[in-house]
Chains A and B, each alone.
Chain A
Amino acid sequence: MAHTPETTSALHGVMAEYDSGQALVDAARKTMAQGFTRVEAYSPVPIEDLNTIIHKSRTVLPKLVLAGGLAGMATGFGLQYWASAIEYPMNIGGRPLASWTTFIVPSYELTILFASLTAAIGMIMLCGLPQPYHPVFNVGRFSMASSDKFFLVIESTDPKFGGAAAFLRDTGAKGVYDVEE
């Protein structure tokens, strides 16, 4: 995306780089204690505490998956009941048309199928992916976020953003960079 000279000054935020997960978690705790609110942390491995420290909220994904699974079960059972008892009734050895026990396996499989697809697609959508462009990628060092460096970003929409860069330098950061929009 071509930036005109006037817009280059627009900042997404400031980014601090750390060497270890421990340093990142310590910095994230300090940052939140300082009263910053628009903060995000980036790490090459999942760190369980980070989300709790920064966002303090858990994802709704499990509830979506439950709904997906129930929808799958209803679809599976409904499909078989409708096809066997209503749309195409066929007498097989005098057995009941709606013999629900024989419908268990496909209902079960569709429960798992729908729930799994909800978990996968739901996770991707909730993460806002696919998202090929994001300002953090403008920082050259950020390519190390998928290897062995840890990053903390305070976004420019934060009310206390004015002192953010100076604050991050004091958190033991190996480097502090501007993140251009």
Chain B
Amino acid sequence: MDPNLHRPMALQETPVILPGHDFETVTETIAEVPLSKRFPLGWLGIFLVALGGAGMLHMALGYLLIKGIGIWGNQVPVGWAFDIINFVWWIGIGHAGTLISAILLLFKQQWRMSISRLAEAMTIFAVVCAAIFPVFHTGRPWLAAYWLFPYPNAMGLWPQFKSPLIWDVFAVSTYATVSIVFWYIGMIPDLASLRDRAVSKVKAAIYGMLSLGWRGSARHWHRYEVATLILAGLSTPLVLSVHTVVSFDFAVSLIPGWHATIFPPYFVAGAIYAGFAMVLNLAIPVRRFYGMESLITMRHIENMAKIMLATGLLVSYGYACEAFFSWYSGSPHERFMMYNRMFGPYGWSYWTLIAINAVMIQLLWLKSIRTNTVVLFVISLFVGVGMWLERFVIIVTSLNRDFVPSSWGMYYPTRWDFMTFFGTIGLFLTLFLLFLRFVPMISIFEVKTLLPQAKVKADH
């Protein structure tokens, strides 16, 4: 059946894959990038810059291990700052990958296929960056093992299972593991394609080992499809649980501005919002510079912009709820927190956040904006900034002026805070560029299933 049959006219204009592709051209276009000996000079340039960022991260973390966490700016009363802001920011960004590969798979959204590999890679690298912060904020990460993980250690100690921070350890480590497994399983048939096309013996051997000897037999595919569907079904509640549990870190506490039941859904919406912004920030340049416009079409770009708009509106609703709750609670502490958030010393961060996440995002109602990749790229960058500010606002403005005025204080990040944060962006880009170079960036076999060649009549 023609997949366009039941779609509204507006969507029929841009197909998921532009015409002119068959199985061979799809394989060729995608497999050429990792198999080719040559790579664009621009890739090397950006890679070196990114690697410099990763080096800066190593420096910042190395100095942290020598001196201790005193080199960071967090200090009573703002005991949580960049470490948790950046953790929540990165882990939120990671959500888009699983949303695309799992939830959209369950909903049979075919446009997912061209961007799922890329988005899953982004998820894994974002989780890697996120994990750096909680691990290193312990100051002595080699001891964090028995603080965080339940294993029978010589001291007979066990973690405190009644604490959301431990729930977070379970949620994030499960999420990281399942994301990597899902990503790898999704790649096996494509690695077999690379194995079969590789000219160099070394590459054929490496991709051959990674593909585990995949043959694409009827039995293989049957089990593969069942496993993928199950993994998608399992990842869907998982991805929703991860940011929910992250929000518990705040919501289960009694700090004004954190102790709110709106937090779990509000955090999940924000995560998807920031995640799609990051996918757009990666996909827009990638499709341009690697000539993938026929596989990652305007349809994908526009759909992602629509999801960004929808989740952006949800997040704005969350801001309204927070303001309403603090007024309606009647609690002077809650009311003061909101007043301080809006008009206190960090008021600028609150209003910038509102300007980006509640006002600027309304531009995406316009089709001309959604289909203009340059404008969309810039908007997505701003969304990243906006979501970072959201976590800054939630964390810093709730802590800097607490119940007793004598304990109020300001928070100023140090250069090490910034080096660590920008360093993780460098690490993220480094990993992503390596992914683009060595792994098929678009799922070859999934895109093929969209072509007429793959269609088989249901019955004879």
Are A51 and B162 interface neighbours, CB within 8 A? Answer: no
Chain A's nearest CB lies how many Å from the CB of B323? 29
Contact residues, A7-53 vs B (CB, 8 A): 20-22, 25-26, 28-29, 40-51, 53
Chain B residues, CB < 8 A from A26: 460
Q: Which residues of B contact A (CB under 8 A)?
A: 22-24, 27, 150, 156-162, 164, 166-167, 170-171, 174, 177-178, 181-182, 184-185, 189, 192-193, 195-197, 208-209, 212-227, 230-231, 234-235, 237-238, 241, 245, 248, 445, 448-449, 453-458, 460
Q: Is A109 an interface residue (CB 8 A)?
A: yes
Are A123 and B223 interface neighbours, CB within 8 A? Answer: yes
Q: Take A109-B170, A109-B174 as given contacts and tell me if A120 and B181 are in contact as well, using a CB distance cutoff of 8 Å.
A: yes
Are B449 and A131 interface neighbours, CB within 8 A? Answer: no
A80 CA to B159 CA in the complex, in Å? 9
Q: Is A3 an interface residue (CB 8 A)?
A: no
Q: Take A55-B222, A61-B226 as given contacts and tell me if A130 and B27 are in contact as well, using a CB distance cutoff of 8 Å.
A: no
A125 CA to B455 CA in the complex, in Å? 29
Are A40 and B218 interface neighbours, CB within 8 A? Answer: yes
Chain A residues, CB < 8 A from B241: 105, 108-109, 112
Are B167 and A55 interface neighbours, CB within 8 A? Answer: no
A49 CA to B185 CA in the complex, in Å? 22
Are A132 and B237 interface neighbours, CB within 8 A? Answer: no
A117 CA to B238 CA in the complex, in Å? 14
Q: Is A102 an interface residue (CB 8 A)?
A: yes
Are A127 and B453 interface neighbours, CB within 8 A? Answer: no
Are B230 and A134 interface neighbours, CB within 8 A? Answer: no
A79 CA to B177 CA in the complex, in Å? 20
Interface centre among B162, B192, B235, B453 (most CB of A within 10 A): B162
Having A102-B162, A146-B197, one finds 4 other A-B pairs with CB under 8 Å, namely A109-B174, A113-B178, A120-B231, A143-B196
Ordered by A's residue number, 16 sampled pairs between the chains whose C-beta atoms are within 8 Å are A21-B454, A28-B218, A45-B23, A46-B445, A48-B456, A55-B222, A83-B158, A84-B162, A87-B156, A88-B156, A92-B160, A113-B174, A115-B230, A131-B213, A146-B27, A148-B22
Closest chain B residue to A130, Cβ basis? B212
Are B214 and A129 interface neighbours, CB within 8 A? Answer: yes
Q: Is A67 an interface residue (CB 8 A)?
A: no
Chain A residues, CB < 8 A from B209: 130, 132
From B23, B161, B184, B224, give the contact of A147 (CB < 8 A). Answer: B23
Contact residues, A119-152 vs B (CB, 8 A): 119-120, 122-124, 126-127, 129-134, 136-137, 143-148
From B23, B166, B181, B248, give the contact of A148 (CB < 8 A). Answer: B23
A87 CA to B215 CA in the complex, in Å? 50
From B157, B215, B234, B248, give the contact of A136 (CB < 8 A). Answer: B215
Q: Which residues of A contact B (CB under 8 A)?
A: 20-22, 25-26, 28-29, 40-51, 53-55, 58-59, 61-62, 65, 69, 76, 79-80, 83-84, 87-88, 90, 92, 95, 99, 102-103, 105-106, 108-110, 112-113, 115-117, 119-120, 122-124, 126-127, 129-134, 136-137, 143-148
Are B449 and A46 interface neighbours, CB within 8 A? Answer: yes
Are A113 and B23 interface neighbours, CB within 8 A? Answer: no
From B158, B221, B235, give the contact of A87 (CB < 8 A). Answer: B158
Chain A residues, CB < 8 A from B196: 143-147
A116 CA to B248 CA in the complex, in Å? 24
Are A148 and B24 interface neighbours, CB within 8 A? Answer: yes
From B216, B224, B445, give the contact of A123 (CB < 8 A). Answer: B224
Are B170 and A132 interface neighbours, CB within 8 A? Answer: no
Closest chain A residue to B244, Cβ basis? A105
Are A117 and B221 interface neighbours, CB within 8 A? Answer: no
A144 CA to B27 CA in the complex, in Å? 11
Are B161 and A29 interface neighbours, CB within 8 A? Answer: no
Chain B residues, CB < 8 A from A147: 23-24, 27, 193, 196-197
Chain A's nearest CB lies how many Å from the CB of B172? 9
Q: Take A133-B213, A145-B216 as given contacts and tell me if A65 and B223 are in contact as well, using a CB distance cutoff of 8 Å.
A: no
Are A112 and B227 interface neighbours, CB within 8 A? Answer: no
Q: Take A109-B241, A146-B216, A148-B22 as given contacts and tell me if A102 and B456 are in contact as well, using a CB distance cutoff of 8 Å.
A: no
A104 CA to B55 CA in the complex, in Å? 40
Are A47 and B221 interface neighbours, CB within 8 A? Answer: yes
Are A83 and B22 interface neighbours, CB within 8 A? Answer: no
Q: Take A88-B158, A106-B161, A134-B215 as given contacts and tell me if A46 and B224 are in contact as well, using a CB distance cutoff of 8 Å.
A: yes
Are B456 and A47 interface neighbours, CB within 8 A? Answer: yes
Closest chain A residue to B161, Cβ basis? A80
From A20, A79, A108, A132, give the contact of B150 (CB < 8 A). Answer: A79
Chain A residues, CB < 8 A from B192: 146
